[in-house]
Chain A
Amino acid sequence: MRVHLATIDTNDVIFFKNTYYLIAEEARYEFGERNQNMTIVPLTNGIQLYNANRNLLYRNHFPITIVPEDDNNHFVFRGREYSGAIIFDSASDTSLYIINKLPLEEYLKGVVPAEITSTKTEYFEAMKAQAICCRTYAISKLENSTNNPFDLYSSTLDQVYNGYKNHTPLADQAIIETKGTIITYNGKPAHVYYHSTCGGKLEAAENLWPEQNALYLKGGIDAVSDTYSCSSSPYFRWIEERSIEQLDSAFWKQFNRSALQQPIKDTLNLEFILNITKRHTSGRVAEVEITYSDTTVTLQGYNIRRFFAQPPKQYLKSSLFYFSQANDSTLKIRGAGYGHGAGMCQYGALFMAKQGFPYYQILSKYFPGTKLSKLYN
Chain B
Amino acid sequence: MKRRIILILCPFILLSILISCRPSSRFIKPESETPIDSTLYFEQVDISDPFLDSLNQIQDKKITLSKTYVPPAQPEPEISQFKEVEGFRVQIFAGLDSINALAIKYQAKDLTSDSIHFFQEKGLYKIQVGDYQFRSEADNLKTTFRQNGFPGAWVVQRSIIIPVEPDQNADIEEQDEIFQRDTTQEKGKYKIQVLATNSEVKAQMTVLDLKENNKYQAFFEKSGNLYKVFVGYFEIEEKAREALEEIRKIGFPDAWLVY
Chain A interfacial positions (CB closer than 8 Å to B): 125, 199-201, 221, 223-228, 237, 244, 247, 260, 263-277, 279, 283, 320, 322-325, 328-331, 334, 336, 355-358, 361
Contacts and interface: CB of A to CB of B under 8 A. Distances in A.
A273 B62 contact: yes
Interface in B3-52: 35-37, 39, 41-45, 47, 49, 51-52
Given A276-B60, A329-B66, A357-B39, A265 B44 contact: no
Instruction: Specify which of B42, B51, B52, B64 lies most central, judged by the most chain A CB atoms within 10 Å of its CB.
Output: B51
A276 B42 CA distance: 33
A328 B65 CA distance: 6
Contact of B35 (A201, A226, A237, A356): A356
B63 A324 contact: yes
B45 A267 contact: no
Interface in B98-122: none
A274 B60 CA distance: 10
Contacts of A264: 69-72
A328 B62 CA distance: 13
A141 B174 CA distance: 82
B48 to A, nearest CB: 9
B36 A265 contact: no
Contact of B71 (A265, A320, A358): A265
Contacts of A125: 36
B63 A201 contact: no
Contacts of A283: 52, 55-56
A199 B50 CA distance: 12
Instruction: Specify which of B37, B42, B60, B61 lies most central, judged by the most chain A CB atoms within 10 Å of its CB.
Output: B60
Contacts of B52: 200-201, 283, 336
Contact of B39 (A237, A267, A334, A356): A356
Nearest to A352: B41
Interface string B68-87: 11111000000000000000
B43 A221 contact: yes
A277 B64 CA distance: 15
B67 A328 contact: yes
Instruction: Specify which of A125, A247, A264 lies most central, judged by the most chain B CB atoms within 10 Å of its CB.
Output: A264
Contacts of A331: 63, 65
Contacts of B63: 272-275, 323-325, 331
B65 A247 contact: yes
B170 interface: no
Contacts of A325: 63, 65
B139 to A, nearest CB: 55
B58 interface: yes
27 contacts: A125-B36, A200-B52, A225-B41, A225-B43, A226-B47, A244-B67, A264-B72, A265-B71, A272-B63, A272-B64, A272-B66, A273-B62, A274-B62, A275-B61, A283-B55, A283-B56, A322-B58, A324-B63, A328-B65, A328-B66, A329-B65, A334-B54, A356-B35, A357-B36, A357-B39, A357-B41, A358-B37
A272 B67 CA distance: 9
B59 to A, nearest CB: 10
Interface of B: 35-37, 39, 41-45, 47, 49, 51-52, 54-56, 58, 60-72
Given A201-B52, A267-B70, A273 B64 contact: yes
A365 B100 CA distance: 108
Given A200-B52, A270-B68, A271-B64, 10 more contacts: A200-B47, A200-B51, A224-B41, A224-B43, A225-B44, A226-B47, A272-B63, A328-B67, A357-B39, A358-B36
A272 B65 contact: yes
Given A200-B52, A201-B52, A355-B39, A270 B69 contact: yes
B238 to A, nearest CB: 59
A269 B68 contact: yes
A223 B44 contact: yes
A270 B47 contact: no
Contacts of A358: 36-37
Contact of A267 (B44, B60, B68): B68
Contacts of B39: 355-357, 361
A299 B60 CA distance: 15
Contacts of A247: 65
A270 B67 contact: yes
A275 B66 CA distance: 15
Contacts of A228: 47, 49
A336 B50 CA distance: 11
Contacts of B55: 283, 320, 322
A228 B51 CA distance: 12
Instruction: Specify which of B35, B45, B64, B72 lies most central, judged by the most chain A CB atoms within 10 Å of its CB.
Output: B64
Contacts of A226: 44, 47
Contacts of A200: 47, 49, 51-52
A356 B36 contact: yes
Given A272-B65, A273-B62, A357-B39, A237 B51 contact: yes
Nearest to B50: A237
A270 B65 CA distance: 8
Nearest to A357: B39
B66 A223 contact: no
A323 B51 CA distance: 12
A357 B62 CA distance: 44
A307 to B, nearest CB: 14
Contacts of A355: 39, 41
A323 B58 CA distance: 10
Nearest to A278: B60
B58 to A, nearest CB: 6
A266 B47 contact: no
A323 B55 CA distance: 10
B242 to A, nearest CB: 58
Instruction: Specify which of B41, B67, B71 lies most central, judged by the most chain A CB atoms within 10 Å of its CB.
Output: B67
